[in-house]
């Protein structure tokens, strides 16, 4: 009886392990890479060098038990990146602040999106990014060669789906400021008045969202459109690219007008920013966008998420 019970327990344990760590095919090159370190802890890779692949690959190392990741979802995750040619660790978030990205191939490396969509929160995925994706070429300052394969270990910590557009209570327009008309999809059309541009930063909420308050150091997801006050000409719009954009806010990674105008707003809000040159691109302007050093800029920003 005891022996029979032991056999049953072993069978149960094998079944449980199979649900946690999917079996790898012997023909899967990623199955030969040994990953040490528990999920959420410092992680290292052991591999036969050089490791190379012409086609990006992914393997679920540990199946998560949380929410399934869908295309367009925004995730937070821990990661480590290793150069397959040298075995050298290039970057890691373990022991620091988790990273975030949106599972959209227009905003994140296609191999990562393909490898993560359909997996679950709490899981671990190993992704090999082939050189043809161009990611290795962008890391040449770290000693990476353009033909190197990059290996990512990704531990997904949370998932959230950003708003599609601003939502909340409309605020009455203020006389003398640019007016905004919204398209069916939410894209704003900005009309600039025939008046002298303000010399100070103007921050005017157009829609008051009911989400959490944006704080310095967070990464925000936004849709935005920007025009030049003097001409009314649009110089940039995330709406035209078909996807929102992520920015770190309050950390001087964007223009001062954004840092000062968006920190303290709430998720779901739509904000009109009139940004004078000293709060925008300064005396040098931004020639690639047709912005001169004397141009005042007008932005309408939908705050879709903040983490």
CATH dotted code for 169-306: 3.10.50.40
Query: pLDDT by residue (tens digit) across 97-142?
Result: 888 888 988 888 999 999 999 999 999 999 999 999 999 998 888 8
pLDDT confidence band for 26 (50 / 70 / 90): low
| CA–CA dist 140, 83 (Å, integer) | 11
Whether 262 has a pLDDT exceeding 60, the answer reads yes
The whole-number pLDDT of residue 25 equals: 52
Beta bridge partners of 151: 82, 128
**Torsions phi, psi of 258, nearest 5?**
-75, -45
Return the number of other C-beta atoms located less than 10 Å from residue 276's C-beta: 19
pTM higher than the cut 0.85: no
Q: Does domain 30-160 have CATH number 3.10.50.40?
A: yes
Q: Which contiguous run of DSSP H or E holds residue 11?
A: helix 2-20
DSSP state of 298: E
Beta bridge partners of 129: 150
Residue intervals of the chain classified under CATH 3.10.50.40 are 30-160, 169-306
Query: pLDDT by residue (tens digit) across 46-67?
Result: 999 999 999 999 999 999 999 9
Query: pLDDT by residue (tens digit) across 144-157?
Result: 999 999 999 999 99
């Amino acid at each position: 009886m005891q022996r029979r019970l032991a056999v049953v327990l072993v069978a149960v344990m094998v079944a449980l392990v199979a649900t946690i760590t999917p079996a790898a095919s012997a023909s899967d090159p990623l199955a030969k890479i040994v990953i040490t370190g528990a999920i959420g802890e410092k992680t290292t890779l052991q591999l036969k060098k050089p490791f190379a692949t012409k086609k990006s690959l992914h393997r679920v190392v540990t199946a998560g038990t949380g929410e399934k990741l869908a295309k367009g979802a925004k995730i937070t995750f821990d990661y480590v990146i290793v150069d397959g040619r040298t075995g050298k660790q290039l970057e890691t978030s373990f022991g620091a602040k988790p990273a975030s990205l949106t599972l959209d191939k227009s905003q994140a490396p296609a191999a990562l999106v393909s490898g993560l969509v359909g997996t679950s929160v709490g899981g671990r995925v190993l992704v090999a990014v082939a050189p043809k994706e161009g990611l290795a070429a962008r890391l040449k300052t770290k000693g990476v060669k353009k033909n190197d394969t990059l290996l990512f270990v990704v531990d997904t910590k949370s998932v959230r789906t950003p708003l599609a557009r601003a939502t909340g209570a409309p605020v009455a327009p203020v006389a003398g400021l640019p007016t905004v008309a919204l398209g069916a999809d939410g894209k704003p059309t900005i009309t600039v008045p025939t008046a002298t541009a303000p010399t100070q930063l103007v921050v005017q909420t157009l829609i008051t969202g009911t989400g959490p308050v944006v704080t310095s150091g967070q990464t925000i997801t936004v849709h935005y459109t920007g025009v030049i006050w003097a001409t009314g000409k649009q110089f940039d719009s995330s709406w035209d690219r078909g996807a929102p954009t992520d920015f770190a806010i309050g950390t001087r990674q964007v223009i001062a007008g954004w840092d000062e105008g968006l920190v303290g707003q709430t998720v779901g809000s739509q904000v009109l920013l009139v940004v004078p040159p000293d709060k925008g691109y300064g005396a040098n302007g931004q020639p690639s966008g047709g912005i001169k050093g004397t141009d005042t800029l007008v932005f309408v920003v939908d705050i879709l998420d903040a983490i």
